[in-house]
Amino acid sequence: MADIKELLEAAKEIAHIGGQHTLKYFKKDFEVISKADDSPVTIADRETEQIIREEILKRYPDHGIIGEEFGKTNEDSPIQWVLDPIDGTKSFIHGVPFYTTLIGIMIDNEPVVGVINAPALDELCAAGIGLGATLNNEPCSVRSTENMQDATFLVTEIRRFQECGLEPAFQELMAQTKIHRTWGDAYGHMMVAIGRADIMFDPILNIWDAAALLPVLREAGGIFSDTNGVETIHSGNGFSTNKALYPKLKAIFEAS
């Protein structure tokens, strides 16, 4: 049986190592390449993922890895590390510090460890199932906001809602909530987990975007769910919130 506490500590250390490498390129000149889906990637993304992979395999040579930049390794292992070396590459490219290095760990396809490291802000949020959530090693939790009209609502890109057929839900969330902000990505979900915001919604998420989020939100006393109300990292979308607001958000998505 894998030791979740040990895996959590290793993931925190490795996310810190990877995050520190991104700072060598942050606010510097580097080439930006467009991938097949027109999303940007940089040498920093690729080097950072390679460094993280090497650190994982040095410690756990039999573990599997799923990474945004370099795909899958040891696919048959019951323990899979899921990596996004720079989540929020557009923020990174623009010199905005709201990007993160993400590490999630799944055991038998269930997320059990999540680390969200914002190296340019020196903030690392982490959780292991049953172990609670921390920000820079101090306990953290979601806010207790109960009413939508008091809530702060975060998103990454507004245009995506229309592209995904979720414009009605987005407009209803805008109408019901008090404050609205962008520059989200995983840092937006982290802000929900540490009590700085109440709702973060991404209409498009890959597994490497989502794997770290579910354990962090769950252990911070909140919920990470898809628009069908399922707590999963595999649906391609996801929102984070607290338990009081969750049924209200679920009702909005059901009605749209």
**What pLDDT is attached to residue 41?**
78
Question: Are the C-beta atoms of 56 and 63 separated by less than 8 Å?
Answer: yes
Task: Write the pLDDT tens digit of every residue in 124-181.
Answer: 999 999 999 999 999 999 999 999 999 999 999 888 898 888 999 999 999 999 999 9
Q: Which of 84, 77, 31 is nearest to 57 (CA)?
A: 77
Question: Domains in the chain, ordered, with CATH?
Answer: 4-139 (3.30.540.10), 148-255 (3.40.190.80)
Query: Which amino acid appears at position 147 of this protein?
Result: N
> Confidence class of residue 231 from pLDDT cuts 50, 70 and 90?
very high
Task: Write the pLDDT tens digit of every residue in 12-66.
Answer: 999 999 999 999 999 988 777 776 665 777 899 999 999 999 999 999 999 999 9
Which long-range contacts (C-beta less than 8 Å, at least 24 apart) are formed by 203-206? 203/160, 203/161, 203/163, 203/164, 203/166, 203/237, 204/160, 204/164, 204/236, 204/237, 205/233, 205/235, 205/236, 205/237, 205/238, 206/68, 206/236
Q: Enumerate the β-bridge partners of residue 199.
A: 153
| pTM metric for this prediction | 0.95
Mean residue pLDDT across the chain? 95
Question: What gap in Å lies between CA 29 and CA 239, rounded to an integer?
Answer: 34
